[in-house]
Structure formats: C-alpha cells, structure tokens
Amino acid sequence: MSESGKPILYSYFRSSCSWRVRIALALKSIDYETVPINLIKDGGQQFSKEFQALNPMKQLAIIEYLEETRPTPRLLPQDPKKRVLVRMISDLIAGGIQPLQNLSILKQVGQENQLAWAQKAINSGFSALEQILQSTAGKYCVGDEVSMADLCLVPQVANAERYKVDLTPYPTISRINKALLALEAFQVSHPCRQPDTPPELRA
C-alpha cells in the first residue's frame, strides 16, 4: 500500500508480467500507484536488496489474488471446465513461453543467438497455442468473455512482434489479439503509455 492507501504496482513498462497485472487492474477498475523497476538500468533494479525484500516472484499469483478479493468483473469463468482451459492457456504462455524468452535468459544465450532463441521459443509455444485456441476461442481466448488467458496473450504477442516473429501461421492468435487491443483496459495498460515509458517509445 502507498501512503495514499492505494495498492502499489512495481512495474516495468515493457515487462509482459507487469502488463498482465496492469490489464487486470484496469478491468477491475482498481486505482493504483506505479513504482517503476527498470529491468535493465543499474544491471537490473529488480536485483536490488530493497526489491528482493518485496518478494518479486508473483506473476499469475497476483491475478488469482485480485480475482479472489475483487471478483467483479470475473477473469476466470464460473464453469470449472472452462476455468481449466483458461488456466491451461495462461500456464502455456506465462510458464511455457515467456520464461524462455525473458531478459535474463536472453542475456545467458548471448547476443548473436538471442533473436533465433526467442523466435524458436515463441514459435514452438504459438504452434501449440494456435491449435488449442481453435477449439476454445470465441471472440476471445475462451468463449466470448475476457479472461486471465487474454491478459497473458496480448503481452506475449507484443513480445513476438518485438522479436520479429512472423504471425501469419497464427490467424486465431492474431484475430483475438486485435479484438483485445480494441478494449480500453488493454490500451491504458499498454507499454507505450506507462509512467516509465521512455519518450521515444510513447504513443
């Protein structure tokens, strides 16, 4: 909590983990304060003692917590069978794709291999995802209601574009991504509109 009583989000404008949570906060109309954590500056501010003490590893757990404490609008469907689909898709993205192409891994892989590595991780995950979505999607990832899966999808597609992945083989992913980006919650939370977005990347 901040001094004003608002929840604080430790956020990096370009991080897909931060973006997911920003979308959830926007959908649930939760007012919050941003404390920027620059994942690149000073060798990565997330490695500072102050931040480590805050327990950095959260990701989907924050969204599940928001869902339990602020259930409206719901980000998990009421039906357990649909809920397992939403969590499966969220896991596939947040546990199966994103960790393989995040900054710390790409640093380990070495500069000349980064692009190919990231593309391979994303293409391999998107092939599975495209197939799954063909059976689960309506307007969005699972049926016609925005869910946690959609919060994971949009930031991951942005990463794919950043790493120049050809999205032609993924028509369902592309269609859903476009529909979601038309929604206000996905726009106000966008990396190009954050307090810590550098001027040259603003839109």
Task: Report the residue from 64, 119, 123, 174 that binds a copy of itself according to the rule CB under 8 A.
Answer: 64
99 binds a copy of itself (CB under 8 A): yes
Please report how close the Cβ of residue 173 comes to a copy of itself at its closest, in angstroms: 14
Cβ-based nearer residue to a copy of itself, 153 or 190: 153
Assign 3-state DSSP to the chain and report helix, strand, coil percentages, each to 5.
60, 5, 35
- Cα separation, 47 vs 152, in Å, equals 24
| Residue range at the interface with a copy of itself (CB under 8 A); choices 30-38, 58-66, 161-169, 189-197 | 58-66
- Cα separation, 91 vs 65, in Å, equals 16
* Backbone angle region of 133, left / alpha / beta, with phi > 0 → left and psi within -120 to 50 → alpha: alpha
Cβ-based nearer residue to a copy of itself, 26 or 121: 121
Residues in contact with 1: Cβ distance below 8 Å, sequence separation at least 6, in sequence order: 7, 8
Please report how close the Cβ of residue 135 comes to a copy of itself at its closest, in angstroms: 8
- Cα separation, 177 vs 183, in Å, equals 10
117 binds a copy of itself (CB under 8 A): yes
54 binds a copy of itself (CB under 8 A): no
Give Cα separations from 20 to 45, 60, 95, 116, 184 (angstroms): 20, 8, 13, 25, 14
Instruction: Return the residues of window 123-152 that contact a copy of itself according to CB under 8 A.
Output: 124, 128, 131-132
171 binds a copy of itself (CB under 8 A): no
Which residues would be at the binding site for a copy of itself (CB under 8 A)? Answer: 52, 55-62, 64-65, 68-69, 80, 83-84, 87-88, 90-92, 94-96, 99-100, 104-105, 108, 117, 120, 124, 128, 131-132
